[in-house]
Amino acid sequence: MSLDYSEDMVQFTREPQLVELDDLIAKPVETNPSKKYFLALTFTASLLLIGIICTGITFYFGIGTWGNNQTIGWAFGITNFVFWVGIAHAGTLISAILFLLRQKWRNAISRFAEAMTIFAVMCAGLFPILHMGRPWLGGYLMPYPNSMNLWPNFISPLVWDVFAVSTYFIVSLLFWYLGLIPDFATLRDRSKDKIKKIVYSFFSLGWRHSNRHWRHYEKAYMIFAGLATPLVLSVHTVVSFDFAATIVPGWHSTIFPPYFVAGAVFSGFAMVVIALLVVRKVFDMENIITLNHLEKMNKIILLTGSMVGYAYLMEAFISWYSGVHTEQYSAINRAFGDYAWAYWTMVSCNAFIPQFFWFRKIRRSIPAMFIIVILVLVGMWFERFVIIVSSLSRDFLPSSWTYFTPSLIDLGILIGSFGLFFTLVLVFTRTLPVIAMSEIKGIVKGAQPTHNGGAN
Amino acid sequence: MTNNDTGYIKRTLPKNVGKLGIILFLVGAITGSVGFFLDPARASYSYLNSYLFILSIAVGSLLLVAIEYAANATWSTPFRRMSEFLASSLPLLILLVIPLLLNIQNLFLWSHSEEVAKDHMLQAKSVYLNTPFFSVRVFVILLIWSLFYYLIVKNSRQQDETGDLLMTKKNNKLSIIFIPVFAITVTLQSIDWIMSLESRWFSTMFGVYLFAGITCSALAALTFISVMLKEKGYFHPKITKDHFYSLGTLMFVFICFWGYIAFSQYMLIWYGNLPEETFWFMQRWKGGWKIVSLFIIFGHFLVPFSVLLSHPSKTNFKKLKFISIWILAMHFIDLYWLIMPGMNGNGLNFSFSWMDISFLVATIGIIIYMFNRMFEKYNLIPVKDPKLQRGLDFHL
């Protein structure tokens, strides 16, 4: 006589044995990869190579090889930067915020999502450096008393961005590493290869799974989660300040901070769903990363997608309500001007398509969700493109109004960033456990001692 | 009268609680009516302030109920009834809004046709900001909210009798529909009642700002009442500190959220420095308003943030009671800060008035009276809710 909530609580479709778990998770790390793996790696590495070549061309000839022009000074570079920073948000959301919210289902997917966070921040970090045109001057972004007596412009949100993203990267990396320590120890104990053993021993910092170790670990994990939570929200807030703090029509909007954060989580979750769909299949982890996990993620995609839709509505409505001509013009120009195709791609992919997730069947259908999340990624890339390019293309001086066409180099670098990301992901799946072994054991039946003998 | 197997015993509050509510309401309503008689323009502003305060608690509580259903939360199930009780003044708002609609001319510049004729900005907005459309919007939104309140609460109460699981499923669906409806309607209400007081000003964040305040106040009201009832022994004995810890955490989260939204809105307008936006904050930085602005930064964010930050304080009943009353007071002051400076643009000169207090007293009277009435009629916990046992057994 109770509503069936058991389905929500199922962490595994088939309850695994503890030993079996270690074997399963360590298998990709301990065995030699198959031919398919190398084929996949070759593919992503070729994409990366395209990116490297295009980067080389950019360094040699300069930013002139990009499609940027006189008024549209920010285009693909910043679009890609914001896109990748956005992708990076899912990892910390899953590992820190869901941890604080006591959502145990996160345990199965947190490791993978965190790894993707770190790789996505790496991809993002490349673009501002490339965009500088003189990458060797990048060091001046860091405030330090240098011999030239040069300081960054502290009142510029672009500088806050440098601090926000680099802090975020460091904290995410440490948080990820902290979670990895017990797993490194497990791998160390299992490995028979001498070199591997040395490497894993080094990184496991002498972990012995002792009670005292665990106590410190749990405390540190909690503190990191508490620190990472405001940090993850602040990163995309600061990114949104890059735009909203200016007075460019279409950029200067007070809703930008929460809207960007929602959009970032939205796109990040989409990327994690794509990767998980592949991983669970390839590594036989379908009973650990279950449809329930994917459904929950799809619900969050629906929620954040609707938040983004709310922001679109507000922007359009308030630009009319404001009575300010430039605001009204920028809204109309976005929807019906030169970039209408991009705008409507963005609106349909971000606000409309995720609405399919209202239906339980679609939330639980793997092909359907695969298509939807890919469209979400497309939509979120276009969102940044629309914001940046459509506003810049209509300068305050109508004689300099212009249109942006990306060059081949622009496209090559974008492709290259995907190559870099997926190469890193592939390498990660073969070097580190893709599921947190210690955490997943914590939610296996009987792992949590209770007062009444585990009878719940 | 143990009508269930959870060990809950229904009791009623002391008789004088209901009386207190009626007395407060009468005192406030009578003095308020005198105020309307003496100075209708000033009274309208005070009335609007208190009206939005009760609206915040009522619709915010309904939102909390909806979130619980939508998220399938179990720890909060024992508290759900109290949010339902607090939302019970929602249908009353349809009556309470009438004095405001009769005084539209006293509140909004855009309702004067001669002013609109002079000002091209008001003309541009007149498609949206005009008395008939405004009144229709207000009524339709209140009706929608009341309808959702009626349906959700009806199902929840019916379940007390029958224990029918279908009711939970129905409410899940209703709640999921209510949440997006709430997001849109509360935004429209924030624009209508507050933003359009100074009809030139605009901010895309404003709906979110009011939403943050509403949620803080609904949570604070819930926390205050549940701590009081727990202390006086009305509550289920299985409700432990872990439950209150979770409530405190939720309050903490929304205080942070409010701070985040308030800061971002201010910072972006300050940084952009466009006169069509900054005048709104400048208005609130003149004379005594400067002190109120500063007080809100400290009182609405820093004080509750520091009080609720540590783990022990979220389970300390004394601190929880203090901070929830504090947050409610701060929400009132926040609304005051949003509404009152708009007076200057409408040709009035702001000064503090006793009417501000009298309407607040009447509002508190209504909340207490309604809560007591519901308390008499219905069970304090949803006794046959399928999630209840899990909620009672909840431990960190």
Contacts with B165 from chain A: Cβ below 8 Å: 2-3
Contacts of A322 (CB under 8 A, 6+ apart): A328, B202, B276
The answer to whether A275 and A425 are in contact (CB under 8 A) is yes
Contact B264 A257 (CB under 8 A): yes
* Mean pLDDT (chain B, rounded): 89
The answer to whether A324 and A380 are in contact (CB under 8 A) is no
SS3 B216: helix
Contact A322 B163 (CB under 8 A): no
Contacts with A255 from chain B: Cβ below 8 Å: 204-205, 208
CA B188 → CA A31, A256, B207, distances in Å? 59, 19, 7
State pLDDT tens for residues A108-141: 888 888 999 999 999 999 999 899 888 888 888 8
- At which residue do the structure tokens 């395209």 appear? A50
Separation of alpha carbons B316 and A287, rounded Å? 42
Mutate to test the interface with A, among B74, B204, B269, B271 (most CBs of A within 10 A): B204
What pLDDT, on a 0 to 100 scale, did the predictor assign at position A4? Answer: 46
Q: How many CB atoms lie within 10 A of CB A174?
A: 14
What pLDDT, on a 0 to 100 scale, did the predictor assign at position A3? Answer: 44
> For the stretch B247-268, what's the b/e string if a residue is b when 16 or more beta carbons lie within 10 angstroms of its beta carbon?
bbebbbbbbbbbbbbbebbbbb
Separation of alpha carbons B253 and B215, rounded Å? 10
Contacts with B137 from chain A: Cβ below 8 Å: none
* Mean pLDDT (chain A, rounded): 87
Contact A5 B390 (CB under 8 A): yes
CA B66 → CA B81, B175, B309, distances in Å? 12, 4, 27
Q: B13: closest CA among B374, B382, B383? A: B374
Token couple for A335: 């929807």
CA B112 → CA B107, B129, B197, B199, B346, distances in Å? 10, 11, 13, 12, 11
What pLDDT, on a 0 to 100 scale, did the predictor assign at position A450? Answer: 58
Least confident of A225-229, A440-444, B34-38, B66-70: A440-444
- At which residue do the structure tokens 């999921």 appear? B176
Name the E strands within A360-417: none
**Model confidence at B4: pLDDT above 70:** no
State pLDDT tens for residues B252-287: 999 999 999 999 999 999 999 999 899 999 989 988
Token couple for A377: 């990624």
Q: If 0-12 CB within 10 Å is exposed, 13-18 middle and 19+ buried, where does residue B330 land?
A: buried
The answer to whether B190 and B206 are in contact (CB under 8 A) is yes
* Residue count of chain A: 456
3-state helix, strand, coil in chain B (%, to 5): 80, 0, 20
State pLDDT tens for residues A347-383: 999 999 999 999 989 999 999 999 999 999 999 999 9
Angle in degrees, CA B227, B233, B239, rounded to 5: 60
> In Å, how far is A247's CA from the nearest CA of chain B?
6
Q: Which of B168, B261, B387 sits opposite A258 (nearest CB)?
A: B261
Q: Which of B128, B208, B267 sits opposite A255 (nearest CB)?
A: B208
Separation of alpha carbons A268 and B99, rounded Å? 49
Contact A3 B386 (CB under 8 A): yes
Angle in degrees, CA B27, B30, B32, rounded to 5: 100
CA B127 → CA A155, A419, B188, B210, distances in Å? 40, 51, 15, 24
DSSP A285-348: -TTTS-HHHHHHHHHHHHHHHHHHHHHHHHHHHHHHHT--HHHHHHHHHHHHSTTHHHHHHHHI
Q: A277: closest CA among A306, A305, A297? A: A297
Contacts with B264 from chain A: Cβ below 8 Å: 237, 254, 256-258
The answer to whether B365 and B89 are in contact (CB under 8 A) is no
Q: Look up residue B330 and give its amino acid.
A: M
DSSP H helices, A2-105, are: 6-9, 18-30, 35-61, 76-87, 89-92, 98-100
Separation of alpha carbons A124 and A162, rounded Å? 11
Contact A5 B386 (CB under 8 A): yes
Separation of alpha carbons A453 and A68, rounded Å? 66
Separation of alpha carbons A132 and A137, rounded Å? 8
Is the minimum CB–CB distance between B265 and chain A shorter than 8 Å? Answer: yes
Name the E strands within A139-235: none
What pLDDT, on a 0 to 100 scale, did the predictor assign at position A454? Answer: 44
State pLDDT tens for residues A262-289: 999 999 999 999 988 988 888 878 888 8
The answer to whether B195 and B201 are in contact (CB under 8 A) is yes
Q: Which of A102, A306, A318 sits opposite B204 (nearest CB)?
A: A318
Separation of alpha carbons B328 and B333, rounded Å? 9
Residues 223-242 (B) with a CB less than 8 A from some CB of A: none
Separation of alpha carbons A137 and A220, rounded Å? 37
Kindly state the helix (H) or strand (E) to which residue B289 belongs, with its residue range. Answer: helix B289-296
CATH number among 2.170.8.10, 1.20.1630.10, 3.30.70.980, 3.40.50.150, domain A6-441:
1.20.1630.10
Separation of alpha carbons B251 and B256, rounded Å? 9
CA A110 → CA A105, A176, A420, B174, distances in Å? 9, 9, 21, 32
Domain ranges of chain A: 6-441
Contact A245 B169 (CB under 8 A): no
Q: Which chain B residue's Cα is nearest to A450? A: B395
pTM: 0.92
The answer to whether A435 and A100 are in contact (CB under 8 A) is no
What pLDDT, on a 0 to 100 scale, did the predictor assign at position A11? Answer: 66
What pLDDT, on a 0 to 100 scale, did the predictor assign at position A84? Answer: 94
The answer to whether B300 and B258 are in contact (CB under 8 A) is yes
Token couple for A133: 């045109």
> In Å, how far is B386's CA from the nearest CA of chain A?
5
Q: How many CB atoms lie within 10 A of CB A429?
A: 22
Q: Which chain A residue's Cα is nearest to B192? A: A321
The answer to whether B6 and B380 are in contact (CB under 8 A) is no
> In Å, how far is A254's CA from the nearest CA of chain B?
5
Contacts with A3 from chain B: Cβ below 8 Å: 165, 168-169, 386-387
Block means of pLDDT (10 residues each) for chain A, 456 residues, are: 45 71 80 86 94 93 89 90 91 85 82 91 91 85 83 88 90 91 89 88 90 90 89 91 90 92 93 89 83 90 93 92 89 91 93 92 91 94 93 88 91 94 91 84 68 49
> In the 8-state DSSP scheme, what is residue B318?
H
Contacts of B155 (CB under 8 A, 6+ apart): B167, B168, B170, B171, B174
> For the stretch B139-170, what's the b/e string if a residue is b when 16 or more beta carbons lie within 10 angstroms of its beta carbon?
eebbeebbebbeebbebbbebbeeeebebbeb
What pLDDT, on a 0 to 100 scale, did the predictor assign at position A451? Answer: 57
State the number of CA atoms in the 13 A half-sphere of B95 facing the CB: 5
Separation of alpha carbons B360 and B53, rounded Å? 8
Contact B276 A324 (CB under 8 A): yes
Contact A3 B203 (CB under 8 A): no
* Residue count of chain B: 396
pLDDT band at B185 (very low <50, low <70, confident <90, very high): very high
What percent of chain B is predicted at pLDDT more than 90? 56
Q: Which chain A residue's Cα is nearest to B265? A: A254
Separation of alpha carbons A118 and A107, rounded Å? 18
Q: Which of A5, A233, A306 sits opposite B72 (nearest CB)?
A: A5
Q: Which chain A residue's Cα is nearest to B185? A: A310
Is the minimum CB–CB distance between A104 and chain B shorter than 8 Å? Answer: no
Q: How many CB atoms lie within 10 A of CB B123?
A: 13
**Model confidence at B34: pLDDT above 60:** yes
Is the minimum CB–CB distance between A233 and chain B shorter than 8 Å? Answer: yes
* Cα R_g (chain A), whole angstroms: 23
What value of ipTM does the predicted structure carry? Answer: 0.91
Q: B188: closest CA among B139, B147, B146, B259? A: B139
Contact A258 B205 (CB under 8 A): yes
Q: Look up residue A201 and give its amino acid.
A: S
Residues 245-284 (A) with a CB less than 8 A from some CB of B: 245-247, 252-258
Phi, psi (degrees; rounded to nearest 5) at A154? -65, -20
What pLDDT, on a 0 to 100 scale, did the predictor assign at position A452? Answer: 54
What pLDDT, on a 0 to 100 scale, did the predictor assign at position A46? Answer: 95
Q: B75: closest CA among B248, B220, B246? A: B246
Separation of alpha carbons A11 and A208, rounded Å? 27
Is the minimum CB–CB distance between A289 and chain B shorter than 8 Å? Answer: no
State pLDDT tens for residues B79-104: 898 999 999 999 999 999 999 999 88
Contact A8 B207 (CB under 8 A): no
Cα A431 from chain centre: 20
What pLDDT, on a 0 to 100 scale, did the predictor assign at position A6? Answer: 44
What pLDDT, on a 0 to 100 scale, did the predictor assign at position A449? Answer: 58
Q: B91: closest CA among B358, B370, B362, B332? A: B370
Q: Which of B163, B268, B386 sits opposite A245 (nearest CB)?
A: B268
DSSP B14-26: -HHHHHHHHHHHH
Contact B208 A258 (CB under 8 A): yes
What pLDDT, on a 0 to 100 scale, did the predictor assign at position A446? Answer: 65
Separation of alpha carbons B64 and B62, rounded Å? 5
Is the minimum CB–CB distance between B268 and chain A shorter than 8 Å? Answer: yes
State pLDDT tens for residues B9-33: 777 788 888 889 999 999 999 999 9
Is the minimum CB–CB distance between B194 and chain A shorter than 8 Å? Answer: no
> In Å, how far is A12's CA from the nearest CA of chain B?
19
Size of interface A-B (CB pairs under 8 A): 88
Q: Which chain B residue's Cα is nearest to A317? A: B204
- At which residue do the structure tokens 């890919």 appear? A374
The answer to whether A381 and A85 are in contact (CB under 8 A) is no
Q: Which chain B residue's Cα is nearest to A256? A: B205
